[in-house]
Amino acid sequence: MTAMHAPSTFQETRPLLRVEALSKTFMVGKTFIPGSGQAVRAVDAVSFEVFPGETLGLVGESGCGKSTLGRCLMRLHDVSAGRIVLDGIDIAPLSPRQLRPYRRHMQMIFQDPAASLNPRRRVGDLLAEPLRVHRTADHAGITQRLQELMDIVSLPASFLDRYPHEFSGGQRQRIGIARALALEPKLIVADEPVSALDVSVQAQIVNLFSDLRRRLQLTTLFIAHDLSVVRQVSERTAVMYLGSVVEIGPTDLLFRTPAHPYTQALLSAIPVPRLAANRKRERILLKGEIPSPANPPSGCRFHPRCPAVQERCRTERPALARLADGRRVACHFPFSLQTT
C-alpha cells in the first residue's frame, strides 16, 4: 500500500505548522573553563510546513537530527534559532509558563513505549493525567473519555486498571497513542513509533495509524528510518541529512523519481522482490562516513560522499529550491544520479 499524493486542499489552506530556519546547537565537552566545549549543530536551518489533516514523513540515517527536530517542535528542547509557528502562534520564544496553554495542542508519541509509560501508574491514571492537568473534563467526563480512547486504539476498557508491564510492546504503544490523542491535539509528532516493535506488530500499529489518520483527520509529523513505513502513512516526505532537509515533496513523486543524490541512495537500498516485474534498480553505494556535525564540510554537506560531486558542490551550499514539479531540493544538480 502506498500513500496518495497530498490533496490539493492541503496546499490551499494555511499551514497548521510552519517551521522557519529552525536550528538547535548543543555544547559538548563543556567544562567550567570559560570558552571550553564544542558546538554541535544537530538541526541546521530547517524549514518546512505541515498542513491540516496531512501526515508528513521525515526520514534519514541515524544521527541526522530527526528526533532532535521532533523534540524541538514539542519544545522539549529549547531552540537555538528560528521559528515554530503553530496555528499562527510562534511558540519558539515562549517561556514554560507562556507555553502551557499551547501544550494541549501538540502531543508526542515516543519510540519506546516501555520507557515512555510510568511503570508505577495504572493505564487509566496515565491517560487521565493530561485531562486533569488541562482541566478539560469533570470526573464523569474523564471516565467517558478514557473508554473512548481505549475503543479508538482497539483495547478493552478493562485494561485501564492494569500496569504497563502487563502488556506487550504493541499494546503499550497503543496506550501511548491513546495518551497522545487524549486532548484531541492539533499536531502529533510520532518519533519512530514502530521501530522498537516486532515486525508483525509494526504492521498492526502502522495500520492503526492509517485508520486513525482517516477517521480523525490527524495532522502528524511521522519520523522514521523505515522508508516502507513512511511510504504507507505519509502524503509528503522530507529527507534529512546531517541536520538539514535536502528534499521534500509528495511521497509518490519522491519515491518514484528522487531528485537529490542522497535520496536516490536511500531508495536504492530498499530490497526489491526478485520476482517483481520491471523493478530493476541499481544500488548506489556511498563512500565514507557521515561527517561530524561538530565539523561539517564546506559547501554542500553531502559532497564528500556524493558520487556526482562537482567543484561547485565543494564551495557553495545549495539552497532548498523549488523544482518545476513542486518539490524542494537542496542540490545544484538534481536528478544527476537517476537510475530508475
pLDDT digit string (tens) for 84-109? 999 999 999 999 999 999 999 999 99
Q: Write the CA distances from 253 to 2, 119, 237, integer angstroms.
A: 11, 43, 10
Does any domain span residue 250? yes
Does any domain span residue 76? yes
Does any domain span residue 194? no
**Average pLDDT score over residue span 45-54:** 96
Global pTM value: 0.89
Distance CA 335, CA 249 (A): 14
Write down the mean pLDDT value for the chain: 89
Residue 226's pLDDT is: 86
Residue 102's pLDDT is: 94
Q: What is the CA radius of gyration of the chain?
A: 21
The boundaries of the domain holding residue 31 are: 1-99+225-269+279-340
To the nearest 10°, report the CA torsion of 145, 206, 49, 245. Answer: 140
Cell of 267: 531508495
Size of the chain in residues:
340
Does any domain span residue 175? no
Number of neighbours of residue 335 by Cβ within 10 angstroms: 15
Q: What is the pLDDT of residues 173-191, one digit of tens each?
A: 999 999 999 999 999 999 9
What's 297's DSSP letter? P
Does any domain span residue 29? yes
CATH number for the domain harbouring residue 289:
3.40.50.300
The residues, ordered by sequence, that sit 6+ positions from 199 with a Cβ below 8 Å of its Cβ are: none
Does any domain span residue 88? yes
Q: Write the CA distances from 59 to 67, 222, 244, 331, integer angstroms.
A: 10, 9, 11, 17
Does any domain span residue 137? no
- In sequence order, the β-bridge partners of residue 58 are 223, 238
How does strand 220-223 pair with strand 236-241? unpaired
Confidence of residue 29 (pLDDT cuts 50, 70, 90): confident
- pLDDT for 6 beyond 60: no
Q: Which of 60-64, 77-81, 158-162, 316-320 has the lowest mean pLDDT?
A: 60-64
Structural domain tally of the chain?
1
Residue 280's pLDDT is: 58
Residue 45's pLDDT is: 94
Q: What is the pLDDT of residues 264-301, one digit of tens each?
A: 999 988 776 654 545 556 778 788 778 888 889 999 99
